[in-house]
Structure 1
Amino acid sequence: MKVERILEEYRDGKIERRAAIGRLAAFFAAAYAGAPAVLADSEPTFVAQGLNHLALRVTDVARSRDFYIKHFGFEILDDNAPRSCFLGTGDNFVALFGGRTAGMDHFCVTIEDYDAAAALKRLEDAGLECHRVENRVYFKDPDGLEGQVAGRYS
């Protein structure tokens, strides 16, 4: 956690003045002692609001689309078979992408106040391997699985 983030959280009302002062003091004490300038606290980088979507690689988009509609009542949001298809499930969706092998492409977590540039910076500051594609921000988990952060239906 860096000074900018501490000040941002205080300004946004996410932490109280006492917590901000304590974190700033710890930050500067660590820096003065030559320790890495990162606070070791238990606060998450983001607070997930829910699972936004799951993206699957499938060998036959139309077949998979029909399967999920028939057995689970998904609604078609956007159908570009044989390349891709997006199926709605209320506040979430499943993305189907055509490929040679089946498996998970990525998962996406909904976060509050999504801003791609700010999200990328926070993930990088937290030490995660991440990248941005247009307005989408992706990261790798410890096993190398790809995740994404987004606002609602990003």
Structure 2
Amino acid sequence: MATPPPHRGLRHLALRVTDLKKSRAFYERLFGMKVVWEPDPDNVYFSSGCDNLALHQISQAELADYHQRRSQFLDHVGVIMENPAAVDELYALVVGEAAELEATIVKPPKQHRDGSYSFYVADPDGNVVQVLYEPTISPLEFTRKT
């Protein structure tokens, strides 16, 4: 088997959502995601500067199927924070805005055995986001090549 070429990391995620307006507010307000492209009312693409998140409205014809599901294959996605204090700061924001944004705290902040520190929050569709300080990758900086 040939060696694959190097890549730049897993920096794009696309989620299908049941209510684009609610999901958009969740990612904009809690994670500061900025819209980079909105091709139509059913799709919005965000960036934090080094990654890309796409939200796609599930069509009315498919919504009933999604509401019947009890579980999902995706366990969670992660948002890397600079330090543990930033994790706590975002946790406080989530707690303050959870009801308005239909965000659900899944697990409160916790120190992990590997030195990482995180909490878990679910978006309006139940997609779980781990807000994480991870000592190996949190210090990394990404720069754009010109």
- Please give the range of the TM-score, normalised by the shorter of the 2 chains: 0.3 to 0.5
User: Which structure has the larger Rg over C-alpha atoms?
Assistant: 1
TM-score (norm 2): 0.37
